[in-house]
Structure 1
Amino acid sequence: MSFRTSLTGLNASFAKLDVTNNNISNANTTGFKKSHATFSDIYSSSMSQSPSSIVGQGAFSTGTTQQFTQGSLRSSNNMLDLSIQGQGFFSLKPEPNSTERIYTRAGAFSVTNERYVVDANGNFLQSFAVNTDGSINQAQMETMKLPDLTADPAATSRITAGLNLPSSASILNVPFNKEDPSTYNESTTFDIYDSAGNAHITSIYFIKSSSATENDPTHRWMTKTFIGNNELSPALMQAKDTEGNELWVDNIGRVKTEPQVQAIKDSTMGSYASFSITAATTPAAGDSLAVTIKGLDNGNNHIVLYTTDKPETAVESTAGMVLALNNDPQFSQEYQAISGAENNILIKRVNGSSILQADQAGFDTAAVISGDTVAVTIQGLSPDGNEKTITFTASATKTALETATLVRDKLNADTDFTQTYNAYLAKGSVIIEAKGNTSADPTKIAVTEVNLASSETGNPNTRSVNVFKHAELEISVSPSLGALISDGKLGFTDAVPFYIDENGNETSNISDTLFTFSPYNLEQGEIIFDATDGKFSYPNEAMQFSTINFNNGSEPVNLEIDLSENTTQYTTPFIMRSFSQNGFTSGMLNSLNITDTGTIHANYSNGQKVVAGQLALTSFLNNNGLQQIGNASYTETADTGALQIGAAGANGFGKISNSSLESSNVDLTTEMINLIVTQRNIQANSKALETNSQFQKIIMDELT
């Protein structure tokens, strides 16, 4: 029995020796983790034996356990030599699309000719995917593949710059000439790129146009942008409030954050839109319509005079005509048969292009019985957003008459219809007060619609509209029978430009059919600074430019320049604080940069940096459950517990160090001591075995 016990001791000692020798032999193996042999005693008994009489029967090896302690790091010259400082394993696959996974801490990696990152055994390194915007998607793992060795060029579409313009700069009122430095205050030059990667010299010139005043507490500069010798044309800028909402001005001057669309209503008597009558008509003989413009100063304060002083008589109507007798008035006034009565009228919309629009066929405009109204529509003047007041003085010349009402009556061609308009006097004026910096172009006026009120041939009525400030604009309309509906279309197609200066915004031309216009920057290419603190105040977004065609085969470019982030006007000299653009020429891959979180950046010769991916680390609840497969690598088993995947430096994972490798955690001194101890154990067990053998020989000799 003792002979067998000695043999188990020898076997256990040799197992220990094997483990120690393996540790010593892998002392220089990258990522190797030392092992430790474990043993157990052999014990047996029977029912007839007492516990005190039982003797052990030796020992046996129960296996080995690995020590996953941190190994020391040694430097290298290879950026793809990686080590983990802390918990975790690199994740690999034997093939790019394989479902099998391999885990290791040996981080000696290289790149294949297909740009895959592999270890010394050809296993493919795994990483987190990269989104199109360059961000990391940690919900998706993929085989690590470096980007192309060359980077394609990209055209410049956006420039962001921060600079300081000196507040002491002089105001220049001379014609700009980029070749003459005396015509601008400051300038800066840089390169932009077309889609083929060609560089183009671009210059921005800054001209101070005005300083702060009591009425305008801002400093204003004009910018001129050139690519070579070609000046870029700035686009109009949509005005926005401090929250980024677009600002619009409606038809009565109110500022809104959404455009208001108000189209002209249809009318059978004519409207701003064209129309035609296909039914046969017999036009009556009559005179022509005359419109006379004597002068124009569409200045700040406007006065509108309204006068009627002639009797009117209805005329023959022809077949196929529909008389629109009930207009939809914008404001109404009751004229009573009381001499000298004064009444106030509230104007909701002012539009001088059709100041006296009213279809007067079908009702009396004599001394009207109280309760009936006459419709007057005023349209076209630049609104200031306030309500207006018109005062009319009406004096009756005779007893009030009942009014006639005809709505869309169709008359036969041979039917005579005569309606008498009795004379009355009505005079008044409208004073339109200028609001803020409201202005109007004094060189144009538009009459978009003239309604022909019927009258007796040879006895015309007169409508006069005077809009004046320093000079007088008078429009006289003689509503005698000129061009009738059967003669075709009647209208004026000119337009009235309108501008608004609130917050430095410019408007486009007001529409004749949609009573809405949007404010834009007052001057294209203008930048504005607050006089109180010198900070940039407008435009609060990038300036847009018209499409650039380089005429060299490259694609057209839409360029925008944003100066809003870090541009000031201080007393310090001109300086460019920051500059960036999104264009670049082609480039070659120069180097890789790997952060301690495992993010890999590819650096190109054109200055571009591309995120190639982020290394994925793994860990297990029980590392000793891993199955060794050689090459300092492991596979997962049922004993490892749940797999955990994450990024370096987060959730308990260690950080990654590039250009370094983790050495074996074998301590040679300790292993040499273990070797000596194991040697003594072997010698002792051998001596016990020898002693047992000698005792057996003595016993055999005695027996013989």
Structure 2
Amino acid sequence: MSFYTSLSGLRGAQTDLSTISNNIANVGSYGFKRSRTEFGDIMPASSKTAGQGVRLKGIQQQFTQGGFEASARELDLAISGSGFFVTRNSLEGGPTYFTRNGSLSIDADRYLTDSNGAYVQVMPADANGNIASASLGSASALQLPLTSGTPRATSLMNVSATLPSTADKPADRPVYSASNPYAFDRLDPNSYNYSQQTTVYDSEGSAIPAMLYFVRTGSVADGDAADTWEAHLFVGNEEASTVTGSTPATPIELTFDASGALTSPSGATAFGDVFPTGASAPLAISLDFGTATTQETASFSVGAFEQDGIASARLNDISIGDDGSITATFSDGSTQVLGQLLLANFANPSGLRQQGDGRWTVTGESGQAQVGAAGGEGFGRIQSGTLERANVDITDELVSLISAQRNFQANAKAIETANAMTQSIMNLRS
């Protein structure tokens, strides 16, 4: 029997060595929890019989807090206290995993994922930033929005400009002749006096460049009946026309009196629909020069060039608070609460089943997951820009390794001694 007694000791020491080696091997694994082997003696057959060896009672995981490592990433998180992040491998259903590894990232589809590519579960927020009740059923994967707000297509442009009374008429320029008659062409700088660029927006909030060209067409000083200008509006690569279907497009005609005040048009002028390349739908734009547009003995200037379109604000950054709330910041300076990280805890965390890569699943021994938000009762707080290291003390593990090795050697020596005694008995019989 001594052979089998020592053999059980060898097996126990080997299991202990394997467990300690696994702890040491994962000293650099974020969120890893060390394990400890627990042994018990095998009950002897009677009070007059020696013990029958050792048995492995279990390998218990030690869910003590690991040390923190500072990081420059906003999405590197650590739980200071109790709790696990909750993840799923698929967007719909699939097994639920629990992890302490808070090395999160954004995948190609803008979902928040953990280091294994699983979807981090978040309690969603409504339009007012209110968080839904904490439950596994209501939690879902978080997909970051690209934009915020409701876009609006440009429908009105307000312009105030000062047009020089000394400006020449492009049609009288020497470059034009009977063989080369004058015609407005935005690609020909000789065919207009001035230009001004702005940006308009389509119904999806996409920015489209717009250009306004000014052409002097009449001068009282040159003998014409009135001081007149034309304003050509291009949206993208298309010219807008005040007369639907007109070819070429009909511009707005501006008329000034002797004092330089604008007499015509007296209000906003509507252009027909224009559908530039890249726009989601045609734009119907009106242009209003107001009363501040004048003709003076001054250089060309634009006092105001405004439009009523609204672009969608682009996502710039996200931040995660110590309560797990996820806040997005957009290009217009606005912020939006997207949700709150869901945390889980267990009555007996040591009963969780290891799934590798710092993940665990529920078992009957662990009890059902109790979920909530960081900072709530029974849950730690979240530290952003920090990762939790393995709770492995390399010094303790090396000491335990030496002890397990000595134990293995002692059991091996016991087998060797039993073998020598048996051999001696065999020699007596011979």
TM-score (norm 1): 0.38
Aligned to 2:173: none
Could you tell me which of 79, 82, 86 is aligned with 1:84?
79
- Checking the alignment, whether the CA contact within 8 Å between 1:194 and 1:555 is kept in structure 2 is no
What is the CA deviation profile of residues 101-138 of structure 1, one whole-angstrom value per residue up to 9, with x for unaligned ones?
11111111211222111122221110101112221112
Q: Structure 1 residues 658, 152: CA separation in 2 closer, same or farther (over 3 Å shift)?
A: same
Alpha-carbon separation, structure 2, partners of 1:621 and 1:551: 70
Please give the residue correspondences for 1:432-471 in structure 2 after superposition, counting only pairs within 5 Å.
none
Match 1:149 to one of 146, 150, 170: 146
Mapped partners of 2:396, 2:90: distance in 1: 39
| Larger CA Rg, structure 1 vs 2 | 1
How big is each residue's C-alpha offset from its partner over 1:515-536, in whole Å with a ceiling of 9 and x where there is no partner?
Answer: xxxxxxxxxxxxxxxxxxxxxx
* Paired residue secondary structure (2:370): strand
User: Is the Cα contact below 8 Å between 1:616 and 1:646 reproduced in 2?
Assistant: yes
Which residue in 2 is equivalent to 1:690?
416
CA contact 1:153–1:197 (8 Å) conserved in 2: no
Matched with 1:380 is none
SS at match of 1:665: coil
* Structure 2 partner of 1:16: 16
* Residue in structure 2 matched with residue 598 of structure 1 by the alignment: 324
Q: 1:662 to 1:25 in 2, by over 3 A?
A: same
Q: Which residue of 68, 74, 80 maps to 2:69? A: 74
CA distance in 2, matches of 1:55, 1:701: 26
Which of 323, 338, 344 does residue 612 from structure 1 map onto? 338
Match of 1:627 in 2: 353
Which residue does 1:7 correspond to in 2? Answer: 7
Residue 113 of structure 2 is matched in structure 1 by: 118
Which of 359, 364, 376 aligns to 1:650? It is: 376
Structure 1: gaps of 5 or more residues: 156-192, 199-548, 557-582
Partner of 1:378: none
Residue 138 of structure 1: SS of its match in structure 2?
coil
Aligned mates of 1:594, 1:551 — CA distance in 2: 48
Give the distance between the partners of 1:555 and 1:703, measured in 2 at CA.
116
1:664 corresponds, among 386, 390, 396, to: 390
* Deviations, residues 472-515 of structure 1 (Å, cap 9, x unaligned): xxxxxxxxxxxxxxxxxxxxxxxxxxxxxxxxxxxxxxxxxxxx
Question: Of residues 629, 640, 652 in structure 1, which corresponds to 2:366?
Answer: 640
Q: In the comparison of the two structures, how many residue pairs are matched?
A: 286
Counterpart position of 1:363: none
Match of 2:26? 26
8 A contact 2:68–2:388 mirrored in 1? yes
Structure 1: distance between partners of 2:423 and 2:69: 59
- Output the CA distance in 1 between the equivalents of 2:322 and 2:103: 16
3-state secondary structure, aligned to 1:137:
coil
Q: Please point out which of 113, 129, 137 is paired with 1:134.
A: 129
Counterpart position of 1:385: none
Q: 1:197 to 1:19 in 2, by over 3 A?
A: closer
Contact 1:34 1:67 in 2 (8 A): yes
- Give 1:144 deviation, angstroms: 2.9
Name the CA shift for 1:29/1:152 in 2 (closer, same or farther; >3 Å).
same
Secondary structure of residue in 1 paired with 2:133: strand
After the TM superposition, which residues 180-191 of structure 1 pair with which residues of structure 2 at under 5 Å, given as runs? none
1:73–1:660: 8 Å Cα contact kept in structure 2? Answer: yes
The 5 Å alignment of 1:379-458 reads none
**Cα offset, 1:149, TM superposition:** 2.2
Q: Is the 8 A contact 1:104 1:633 kept in 2?
A: yes
Q: In the alignment, what sits opposite 1:44? A: 44
Q: Secondary structure at the match of 2:122?
A: strand
Distance 2:285 2:99 in 1: 49
Amino acid at match of 2:63: F
Report what 2:261 is aligned to: none
Note if contact 1:128-1:139 (Cα within 8 Å) is conserved in structure 2: yes
Residues 58/554 of structure 1: CA separation in 2 closer, same or farther (3 Å cut): farther
1:65 is aligned to 2:60: yes
Q: Which residue of 2 aligns with 1:508?
A: none
Question: Where does 1:239-638 land on structure 2 (aligned, <5 Å)?
Answer: 585-638=311-364
Amino acid at match of 1:126: Q
- Give the 3-state SS of the residue equivalent to 1:127 in structure 2: strand
Letter of the aligned partner of 1:105 in structure 2? R
1:677 to 399, 403, 408: 403
Relative distance call for 1:67 and 1:584 in structure 2 (3 A) is: farther
Is the CA contact (8 Å cut-off) linking 1:72 and 1:664 kept in structure 2?
yes
Distance 1:105 1:138 in 2: 22
Distance 2:38 2:395 in 1: 20
Listed as ranges, the gaps of 5+ residues in structure 2 are 153-200, 208-267, 272-282, 287-308
Matches of 2:70 and 2:284 in 1, distance apart? 47
AA at the equivalent of 1:670: D
Q: Report the CA distance shift for 1:680/1:122 in structure 2 as closer, same or farther (over 3 A).
A: same
- Report Cα offsets for 1:355-377 as digits up to 9, x if no partner: xxxxxxxxxxxxxxxxxxxxxxx
Partner of 1:259: none
Matched residue type, 2:142: K
Contact 1:585/1:606 (<8 A) preserved: no
- 2:89 alignment partner in structure 1: 94
Cα distance between partner residues in 1 of 2:134 and 2:412: 60
**Structure 2 letter corresponding to 1:59:** V
Q: Secondary structure at the match of 2:23?
A: helix
Q: What CA distance in whole angstroms lies between the structure 2 residues aligned with 1:551 and 1:676? A: 89
Residue identity opposite 2:332 in structure 1: N
Q: 1:142-175 deviations in whole A, cap 9, x for unaligned?
A: 32323322334568xxxxxxxxxxxxxxxxxxxx
1:637–1:119: structure 2 CA closer, same or farther, 3 Å change rule?
Answer: same
The amino acid across from 1:684 in the alignment is A
Letter of the structure 1 residue corresponding to residue 111 of structure 2: Y
Q: Distance in 1 between matches of 2:269 and 2:395?
A: 73
Counterpart of 1:147, as a letter, is L
- How high is the TM-score relative to the length of structure 2? 0.62
The alignment partner of 2:27 has SS state of: coil
* Cα distance between partner residues in 2 of 1:703 and 1:2: 21
Compute the displacement of 1:691 (Å). 0.9
* Distance across 2 between alignment mates of 1:145 and 1:554: 37
In the alignment, the residues of structure 2 paired with residue 550 and residue 101 of structure 1 have an alpha-carbon distance, to the nearest angstrom, of: 61
Instruction: Name the stretch that deviates more: 681-690 or 130-139.
Output: 130-139
Residue by residue over 1:438-481, the C-alpha shift from the partner in whole angstroms, topping out at 9 and shown as x without a partner, is: xxxxxxxxxxxxxxxxxxxxxxxxxxxxxxxxxxxxxxxxxxxx
| 2:139 and 2:342 in contact (8 A); partners too | no
Q: Would the aligned equivalents of 2:78 and 2:102 in 1 still touch at CA under 8 Å?
A: yes
Distance 1:127 1:681 in 2: 48
Root-mean-square deviation (Å): 2.7
Aligned residue in 1 for 2:35: 35
What does 1:142-181 correspond to in 2, within 5 Å? 142-152=139-149
Q: The residue matched to 2:38 in structure 1 has which SS?
A: strand
Partners in 2 of 1:79 and 1:149 — Cα distance?
18
Which amino acid in the other structure matches residue 73 of structure 2? N
Following superposition, the deviation at residue 647 of structure 1 comes to 0.4
Aligned-partner residue type, residue 15 of structure 1: T
Shift of 1:599: 0.5
The Cα of 1:550 is off from its aligned counterpart by 12
Where does residue 293 of structure 2 map in the other structure?
A: none
Sort the Cα spacing of 1:555 and 1:639 in 2 relative to 1 into closer, same or farther, 3 A: farther
Distance in 1, Cα, partners of 2:353 & 2:128: 39
